[in-house]
Amino acid sequence: MVKKFSAYLVVMILTLTMLVAGCGSGGKGASSSGSPDNGAPAEVQGPLTVKVLDVGQGDAILINTGAQVILIDTGDDKYREESRKNEENTQLFAALDKAGITHIDKLIMTHAHADHIGKAAKVIKKYGVTELIHNGIPSASGAFRNALKAAKDQGTKQVKVKAGDELDFGNGVTFEVLSPTKEIIAEDTKDLQADKKVNVNNESIVGILKLGQFSMLLTGDAEKEIEKELLAAYGDRLKCKIYKAPHHGSHTSSTKAYVERVQPEYAIISCGTNNSYGHPHKETMQLFKKLNIKVLETDKNGTVTVTTDGKAYSVKGER
């Protein structure tokens, strides 16, 4: 009896040790795409869930901290594919409805391109948004103006952010804004007023989403010039577990030095099936492979869900 009991104890201790070791691994070896029954550890429980939504060619990232619902970009209002050109893209609303979203606390518009904020005005009208957050650069883009008008009509508070600001997403989750700097904002504002061309991608709100030991770099469409500035300004502080690949996996971004410094375990790419830009570009994919970064893509994996308790995390594609 005593022997049997001690054998049982040994098994129990071994099992517990394995469980603890698994949790403390900070996500290494956590499930990637596929169902949890493929031998991967069970999905990690919240409080933080990040969904890189499948909205076709564009970006829309849904963050739920239990205290707040935050949407970063909305995807495009219309499909971009030639065959469906004037058709309304309803994928965002379908995804938000599926996630049970009835109100959005913060809507962040990374930059004024339609593949990121094309649906912003409709989101503000349909779901109600407490705060509309943007970089304050007075873009003439129709999508941007429509969003500001909708915010005004609905009484949505507008918040302008720049590098150095930190947003509180509730439940210990923060978002530190790294770009654009006040210099970029001032320069592009001046250039726009003088009718000069600006690189709107480089106006993107870039920042680190953080909970405990978990971190995710959100990048909008920021290109290599910004990556260079961020490397100089933040260096090793750029290190993050997960990297939302900038500009849909384009080779205009994700320079080797930058990705090496971020050193992510996963890269998530948001892009549409057979998009006309050829995103993600093969150079980007080759770099991720070379650096042993696991990759999930919304065009192949559908919506990608990241869940974390601030220690361990799981990353899972819909397909």
Q: Which residues contact Zn ion by CB under 5 A?
A: 115, 221
Q: Which is nearer to Zn ion, 233 or 277 (CB)?
A: 277
Contacts of 163 (CB under 8 A, 6+ apart): 177, 178, 179, 180, 181, 182, 233
Q: Which is nearer to Zn ion, 188 or 221 (CB)?
A: 221
Q: Which is nearer to Zn ion, 48 or 53 (CB)?
A: 53
Residue 10 to residue 263: CA distance in whole angstroms: 38
Tell me how far apart the 2 most distant CA atoms of the chain are, in Å.
Answer: 88
Residue 158, φ and ψ in degrees, nearest 5: -105, 135
Residue 152 CB, shortest distance to Zn ion, in Å, is 25
Q: Which is nearer to Zn ion, 54 or 221 (CB)?
A: 221
Q: Which is nearer to Zn ion, 115 or 188 (CB)?
A: 115
Shortest CA distance to 315 belongs to which of 251, 268, 260? 268
Q: Which is nearer to Zn ion, 147 or 211 (CB)?
A: 147
Residue 202 CB, shortest distance to Zn ion, in Å, is 12
Phi-psi region of 247 (alpha: psi -120 to 50; beta: other; left: phi over 0): left
* Beta-sheet pairing, 61-64 with 214-218: unpaired
CA atoms within 13 A on the CB side of 191: 14
Given a contact cutoff of 8 angstroms between Cβ atoms, the answer to whether 66 and 72 are in contact is no
Q: Which is nearer to Zn ion, 40 or 198 (CB)?
A: 198
Given a contact cutoff of 8 angstroms between Cβ atoms, the answer to whether 52 and 270 are in contact is yes
Q: Which is nearer to Zn ion, 203 or 265 (CB)?
A: 203
The DSSP secondary-structure symbol of 194 reads T
Residue 27 CB, shortest distance to Zn ion, in Å, is 27
Residue 168 CB, shortest distance to Zn ion, in Å, is 27
Given a contact cutoff of 8 angstroms between Cβ atoms, the answer to whether 74 and 107 are in contact is yes
Residue 130 to residue 107: CA distance in whole angstroms: 8
Residue 200 CB, shortest distance to Zn ion, in Å, is 9
**Which amino acid is located at 198 in the chain?**
V
Given a contact cutoff of 8 angstroms between Cβ atoms, the answer to whether 174 and 168 are in contact is yes
Q: Which residues lie across from 243 on neighbouring strands?
A: 217, 267
Q: Which residues lie across from 310 on neighbouring strands?
A: none
Residue 22 CB, shortest distance to Zn ion, in Å, is 37
Residue 204 CB, shortest distance to Zn ion, in Å, is 9
Q: Which is nearer to Zn ion, 68 or 303 (CB)?
A: 303
Beta carbons within 10 angstroms of residue 129's beta carbon: 24
Residue 170 CB, shortest distance to Zn ion, in Å, is 28
The SS3 of residue 119 is coil
Residue 114 CB, shortest distance to Zn ion, in Å, is 9
